[in-house]
Amino acid sequence: MTYIGVDISKRFFAAAFPSANGYRTQEFENTPRGVRSFIGLLPDSPVVVMEATGNYCFLLLYLLHNAKIEAALVNPKQIKHFARMMMSVTKTDAKDACLIAQYGEKMNPAPYKLPSGTILALKQKRTVISQLKKQLNSTRNLLESITVLPYADKTCVNSLKKTISFLEKQLKSLETELTDLA
C-alpha cells in the first residue's frame, strides 16, 4: 500500500508522495480542479492520509470517495504526538505532509467512511444553529449594555433589535428543518 500524506488548508494542500530518496512534495489548490489534478497523479491503490481540519478537508474527501480512492482522516493530536515521537521540529506544509505520510505507513490508520448526505446536513445545521445562538446571545447582551447608557442611539438600538429578530427567525427555521430531517 502506498501512503500519500496531505497537509490541507483553506486555499492549498501539500501532498507527499513516496520516492526513492524520501518524499516528493507538491502543492495543489484546494479546489475541485486542484483535487482532480492531485487524483490524476496518484499511484495504484493509494491511501491518502490527512488531518481532520474542519471543513477544509471535505472537498478532497468527497472527490476521493467519488473516485473510489481510500482516505484516512486522522485527529491532529495524533499527528502532533507522532511528530514529537519522530523528533520533528520543522513546521512547513511540505514537511507536515511528509510526516503525515510517515504516520500512515507506521500506524495504518483506518479508512474514513464518508457520512451520508443527510448526516452531513444534520451536522451542518447543528453547527450553524450553535453559532447563531452565540451571535444572538452576544447581540442581546450588546443591546442590553447600550440601553443602560444615559443616551442610547436609536439607530443602534433599532439595528440591534432587527438583528435579533432576524437571528431568531433563522434559528427557528433551521431548528424546524433539523427536526424534520432527524
Nearest Cα to 46, choosing from 5, 98, 102?
5
Residue pLDDT, tens place only, 27-38: 999 999 999 999
pLDDT at 73: 96
Joined together, the cell numbers standing for residue 3 give 501512503
What pLDDT does residue 12 have?
Answer: 97
CB-side exposure of 3: number of CA atoms within 13 Å?
21
- Which amino acid makes up residue 161? K
Neighbours of 43 (CB within 10 A): 9
Q: 48-107: per-residue pLDDT in tens?
A: 999 998 889 999 999 999 999 999 999 999 999 998 898 887 788 999 999 999 999 999
pLDDT at 1: 87
Q: Give the pLDDT confidence of 3-17 residue by residue, as tens digits.
A: 999 999 999 999 999
Cβ-defined contacts of 60-63 (< 8 Å, 24+): 60/6, 60/8, 60/13, 60/30, 60/35, 61/112, 61/114, 62/114, 63/32, 63/35, 63/36, 63/39
Residue 99, C-alpha cell as written in the block: 510526516
Q: Read off the pLDDT of residues 139-152 as tens digits, 9 standing for 90 and up.
A: 999 999 999 999 99
Q: Which among 133, 112, 93, 115 has a CA at the least distance from the CA of 49?
A: 112
